Amino acid sequence: MTTTIPDTTTMTIDSTENLTVGPELARSWLLVNGSQPARFDVAANSAADAVVLDVEDSVAPADKAQARENVLEWLGARTEDGEQNRAWVRINGFGTAWWEDDLRALRDVPGLDGVMLAMTESPEHVTRTAELLRGTRIVALVETARGVQNLQAIATARSTYRLAFGIGDYRRDTGFGEDPMALAYTRSQFTIASRAANLPGPIDGPAVGALGAKLAEATGVTTEFGMTGKLCLMPEQTATVNEGLSPSLSELSWATDFLGEFEAEGGQIRNGSDLPRLARARKVLGLASAFGMRLPEGYDMHFEAPTDTYHC
């Protein structure tokens, strides 16, 4: 029987100083308007796993050059502690008047973690970007029907690091509503294309203006479709997104119990369910370690195995 977790039960987060979650596991991707440099430090000090300074959609055409300069200045500077400022940059889409200028400006910038390429519609958009930004990680932000049709090819492009779903532009392009069922097929395609190309899980689009229970519900949809990251538009969204895209208390409890039992019985495969359970448990505990999570002291609740790990 599955035990219900009391409302007062919470996960313990290790207070490891300067815990950094790498981009392959990053859950919250916080977009920051490049025209508003006062927000850069606020974003960097938030709970966001990845900060994305935006010189694309949030910036008016007349302000593109200044926004780019703001970003370059901040990325080239250091914090009060002497650490290099670091962030991703969402650049303008291939074929726009600003795409090449963005890339030339970002070459050899010390604090650049990678770029998020807006309006990606073909693998050529990624490969051409990579030619001008050699060695830089590229998240392909797919935002149109044409881009979704080409998802498999985009995912398998040599320089694609991770896929991201630009929900707002995609809905405007297709006329789809915001109901999760309306976008179910599309979200599934992102996850399938990412998995087939051996990429990290895809990054879901933002829940515009959502906080609290509404944001938690939207993040639950992200998880349900196998997506492992989510764009955020406010620093206040990042902690909720991180929690929703991390292993749950029940998952961590089950994984800990299973591995303990498995090793106590000799660490030998006993039946057809052991292999998938072993893989799942190791994944859960690996993620928990990366995110600085552990069970509360004295925790003693037990949960059934995930339903997709039963031998049948």
Residue 183 makes CB contacts below 8 A (sequence gap 6+) with: 167, 171, 176
pLDDT tens digits for range 58-107: 999 999 999 999 999 999 999 999 999 999 999 999 999 999 999 999 99
The answer to whether residue 41 scores a pLDDT higher than 90 is yes
Considering only CA atoms, give the Rg of the chain.
21
**And the tokens for 255?**
């994984």
Q: Annotated binding residues for Mg(2+), as ranges?
A: 143, 169
Fold of 28-245: TIM Barrel (3.20.20)
Residues forming a β-bridge with 42: none
The predicted pLDDT at position 265 comes to: 87
**Cβ atoms of residues 140 and 126 within 8 Å:** yes
Q: How confident is the model at residue 14 (pLDDT cuts 50, 70, 90)?
A: low
pLDDT tens digits for range 165-180: 999 999 999 999 999 9
Q: Taking residues 201-205, report their average pLDDT.
A: 98
**And the tokens for 278?**
């072993």
Residue 148 makes CB contacts below 8 A (sequence gap 6+) with: 142, 170, 186, 189
Domain ranges of the chain: 28-245, 247-311
Q: Annotated binding residues, as ranges?
A: 90, 143, 169
pTM of the full predicted structure?
0.92
pLDDT tens digits for range 88-102: 999 999 999 999 999
Of 222, 233, 156, the residue nearest 195 (C-alpha): 156
Separation between Cα atoms, residue 243 and residue 257, nearest integer Å: 22
The predicted pLDDT at position 312 comes to: 61
Q: Annotated binding residues for substrate, as ranges?
A: 90, 143
**Cβ atoms of residues 207 and 180 within 8 Å:** no
Separation between Cα atoms, residue 286 and residue 97, nearest integer Å: 43
Q: Which residue has the higher pLDDT, 272 or 46?
A: 46
Distances (CA, A) of 238 to 174, 190, 235: 28, 22, 6
